[in-house]
Amino acid sequence: MMQIRLHVFMPLLLLLLATAPLTHAAAREDIQSDLSSNEIAIESNFTGARIVVFGTIEDGRRSAEEAGIYDIAVVIRGPAKSLISRRKSRMFGVWMNSSSHAFDDVPSFYAVLSTRPLSDIAKPDILASRGIGFNSVLPVPEISAYQTVWEGEEARDFRDAVIRIKQREGNFIDDDRGVIFISKTLFRATLDLPASVQDGQYSTDVFLFRSGRLLSLNQRKLTVHKVGFERLLYTAAFDYPLLYGLIAVLVAVVVGLSASAVFRRD
Amino acid sequence: MLQVYLPIAEMSINIAMVLGMGAAVGFLSGMFGVGGGFLMTPLLIFTGIPPAVAVATEANQIVASSVSGALAQWRRSNVDIKMGLVMLIGGFVGSVVGVQLVKVLRDLGQIDLMIALSYVTFLGIIGFLMLIESLRAMSETRAGRTAKRRSGQHNWIHGLPFKMRFKHSKLYISAIPPIIIGAIVGLLAAIMGVGGGFIMVPAMIYLLRMPTNVVVGTSLFQIIFVTALVTVLHATTNQTVDAVLALVLMLGGAIGAQFGVVAGQKLRGEQLRALLAVMVLIVALRLLVDLVLEPDELYTLAPLLGAK
């Protein structure tokens, strides 16, 4: 039995092996990318930073016309934090926070840059599964059967507010013209991190699409961290708060004493 | 445009602007002999510093300004240490309660409102009273009269128990009023980031009837310790003391105060007080307007505390 089966399959297997390199080349264009720097230091003069993501599509055999339909999406994601969004309403004549909504694991920074609008690049479910676009980070909440329409709308308003405020801070960025082809295979994307960026591990995902299909993905890591004096202070404030507080008082006493010594008039 | 990054506020700020603000408020505090916290904290909030950080950091700055202020008064032996220490008992209690209150209100998302409301209330009342008083003094000076000072009169304060002798102030009064005044000042220091001189000085003069020459020194003496405690408590409870911001403010304030003192000696008292009253009222009005007008953005974002 075994002998017979192998006999039948052997020519087919050989054929497959022979054509394998060819089909591989057709299906797998690769993408390579890197960052202008893998590390961003928050120093005392930090006012934000510019990052350039650049790379190349590895498939030189394609003709220029075909290469033109490549789509690239670059996603940069900062460490996830839990957030609370609060909404003000007028009470007793003043505007005060009256309702709130907590969000778990929202990236402190999220940028999505692409060669053209995301909706033209791939179907929403593909984008969502790969974490591309604001909708994948903060999905529009579905109105469940247990909610009133009003509650459902309120949840959507809170979600929209998070995106809106983060965008205004510069911590959420979407730019559907943000990835530029310098040549047929060489691309570049530039983005600015605001001064308020959180420190931590950032990930950079570069996706290569063609005709709505994900062809390749390349990942890079980016570290944002406070350094030197800024780091010392931040670490002290959260890890040794008592010592930090005592030193802050001591510095104040020294400044106060020095001021009266320097400016003494009597 | 020299920008400096504030590690706790997590924002970048123009160092010249903060130095200038510190110097301007320092100038005013030197000129009027006030702490300046009640002007500095709202200014910091107007520039976008989170209110909780503004309050805690300003408390830290006041430690510096009150040390140099108290030292100058000490040299003229204008400090009633015993009175200061009794007030501190209340001051410490008030600070501890105040810092805990800040923590609770922060968790509830109401701390910004609480700070703004406290400022509107206190600045409104103080500014109004100061304006009335200085206008009256101005018209009296013009009419050639001098303000009468009642002293030695007994009030309800003298009926209270736990009497103590305060030699320096030439007083024999109950310890309860100083402790209560101290407690209120401690509470205000924790919530508003002020030394509390604007409450303490009138209370010491009109309620305790302390001699005017020891009032400012004694108040500064106790402010040092209350704001020092508030700084440490905010650092340990809320992690809201920004040491970089505080240092820049201290330097600006120290320089500004020196020029303010000189300017203050050349100008007339009543007009100065009227000017200060108007400024206080403007700050109060601005804060009130921000509370009453519909904000452009109804939503705010904050990190969920306790979930790091």
Among B4, B11, B292, the residue with its CB nearest the CB of A196 is B11
Among B3, B235, B307, the residue with its CB nearest the CB of A248 is B235
User: Could you give the CA distance from residue A49 to residue B301 in angstroms, rounded to a whole number?
Assistant: 23
User: Could you give the CA distance from residue A219 to residue A75 in angstroms, rounded to a whole number?
Assistant: 10
Residue B68 placed within a domain: yes
Range of lowest pLDDT (A206-215, B119-128, B204-213):
B204-213
Q: Is A95–B235 a contact, with Cβ atoms under 8 angstroms apart? A: no
Q: How far is A115 from chain B (nearest CA, A)?
A: 31
The residue segments making up the domain with residue B59 are 3-142+156-292
pLDDT at B58 over 70: yes
Dig out the tokens for B155 from the structure. 């009030």
Say whether residue A95 is in contact with chain B using an 8 A CB cutoff.
yes
pLDDT at A33 over 80: yes
Give the model's pLDDT for residue A61: 59
CB pairs under 8 A between A and B: 182
B205-233 mean pLDDT = 89
pLDDT band (50, 70, 90) for residue B149? very low
Q: How far is A172 from chain B (nearest CA, A)?
A: 13
Domain harbouring A220, CATH code = 2.60.40.3880
Say whether residue A266 is in contact with chain B using an 8 A CB cutoff.
yes
Say whether residue A228 is in contact with chain B using an 8 A CB cutoff.
no
Among A161, A257, A266, the residue with its CB nearest the CB of B67 is A257
ipTM of the modeled complex: 0.86
Query: Hey, of A42, A88, A229, which one would you mutate to test binding to chain B, going by the most B CBs within 10 A of its CB?
Result: A88
pLDDT at B144 over 70: no
Say whether residue A98 is in contact with chain B using an 8 A CB cutoff.
no
Cβ contact B217:B83 at 8 Å: no
Range of lowest pLDDT (A51-65, A72-86, B113-127, B175-189):
A51-65
Say whether residue B73 is in contact with chain A using an 8 A CB cutoff.
no
Residue A125 placed within a domain: yes
Residue B258 placed within a domain: yes
DSSP per-residue string spanning A119-134: HHHS-HHHHHHTT-SH
A159-168 mean pLDDT = 94
Place of tokens 């990190």: B303
The DSSP symbol for A199 reads: P
Chain segment A227-250, per-residue pLDDT in tens:
888 889 999 999 999 999 999 999
Query: Pairing state of beta strands A110-114 and A172-175?
Result: parallel
Chain segment B59-71, per-residue pLDDT in tens:
999 999 999 888 8
Residue A66 placed within a domain: yes
Q: How far is A118 from chain B (nearest CA, A)?
A: 27
Task: Give the total number of structural domains in chain B.
Answer: 1
pLDDT at A5 over 70: no
Neighbour-count burial for A59-74, b at 16+ CB within 10 Å, e otherwise:
beebeeeebeebbbbb
DSSP per-residue string spanning chain B: --EEEETTTTEEEEHHHHHHHHHHHHHHHHHHT---HHHHHHHHHHTT--HHHHHHHHHHHHHHHHHHHHHHHHHTT---HHHHHHHHHHHHHHHHHHHHHHHHHHHHT-HHHHHHHHHHHHHHHHHHHHHHHHHHHHHHHHHT-------S---GGGG-SSEEEETTTTEEEESHHHHHHHHHHHHHHHHH----HHHHHHIIIIIS---HHHHHHHHHHHHHHHHHHHHHHHHHHT----HHHHHHHHHHHHHHHHHHHHHHHHS-HHHHHHHHHHHHHHHHHHHHHHHHSPPS--EEEEE-TT--
Q: Label residue A82 exposed, middle or buried (CB < 10 Å: 0-12, 13-18, 19+).
A: middle
Dig out the tokens for B28 from the structure. 């005013």
Considering only alpha carbons, which residue of chain A is nearest residue B228? A249
Task: Give the total number of structural domains in chain A.
Answer: 1
Q: Which residues pair with A219 in a beta bridge?
A: A205
Say whether residue B295 is in contact with chain A using an 8 A CB cutoff.
yes
Considering only alpha carbons, which residue of chain B is nearest residue A92? B292
Residue A259 placed within a domain: no
Q: Is B71–A257 a contact, with Cβ atoms under 8 angstroms apart? A: yes
Residue B300 placed within a domain: no
Chain segment A64-107, per-residue pLDDT in tens:
455 557 899 999 999 999 999 999 999 888 999 999 999 999 99
Chain centroid to CA B11: 25
Cβ contact B14:B245 at 8 Å: no
Among A86, A196, A241, the residue with its CB nearest the CB of B300 is A86
Give the model's pLDDT for residue B308: 41
pLDDT band (50, 70, 90) for residue A60? low
Percent of chain B with pLDDT strictly greater than 70? 94
Q: Is B109–A97 a contact, with Cβ atoms under 8 angstroms apart? A: yes
Q: How far is B258 from chain A (nearest CA, A)?
A: 7
Among A93, A253, A257, the residue with its CB nearest the CB of B292 is A93
Among B5, B64, B71, the residue with its CB nearest the CB of A46 is B5
Considering only alpha carbons, which residue of chain A is nearest residue B67? A256
Residue A27 placed within a domain: yes
Higher per-residue pLDDT: A128 or A11: A128
Half-sphere exposure of A123 (CA within 13 A, CB side): 3
B6-20 mean pLDDT = 89
The residue segments making up the domain with residue A137 are 23-79+105-144+156-227
Mapped onto helix, strand or coil, the DSSP state of residue A139 is coil
Residue B231 placed within a domain: yes
Cβ contact B23:B252 at 8 Å: yes
Q: Is A241–B71 a contact, with Cβ atoms under 8 angstroms apart? A: no
**Which among A34, A87, A32 has a CA at the least distance from the CA of A216?**
A32
Say whether residue B302 is in contact with chain A using an 8 A CB cutoff.
yes
Among A161, A198, A252, the residue with its CB nearest the CB of B67 is A252
Chain A positions touching B307 (Cβ under 8 A) are 82
Q: Label residue A55 exposed, middle or buried (CB < 10 Å: 0-12, 13-18, 19+).
A: buried
pLDDT at B276 over 90: no
**Which among B247, B303, B300 has a CA at the least distance from the CA of B48?**
B300
Q: Which range has highest mean pLDDT (A8-22, B17-31, B257-271)?
A: B17-31
Half-sphere exposure of B219 (CA within 13 A, CB side): 26
User: Could you give the CA distance from residue A249 to residue A251 in angstroms, rounded to a whole number?
Assistant: 5
pLDDT at A3 over 60: no
Cβ contact B95:B230 at 8 Å: yes
User: How many Cβ atoms are within 10 Å of A228's Cβ, its own excluded?
Assistant: 11
Give the model's pLDDT for residue A247: 96
B291-307 mean pLDDT = 83
Give the model's pLDDT for residue B239: 93
What does chain A come to in residues? 266
Residue A96 placed within a domain: no
Give the model's pLDDT for residue A187: 92
pLDDT at A11 over 60: no
- Within 8 A by CB and 6+ apart from A172, the residues are A109, A110, A111, A134, A163, A166
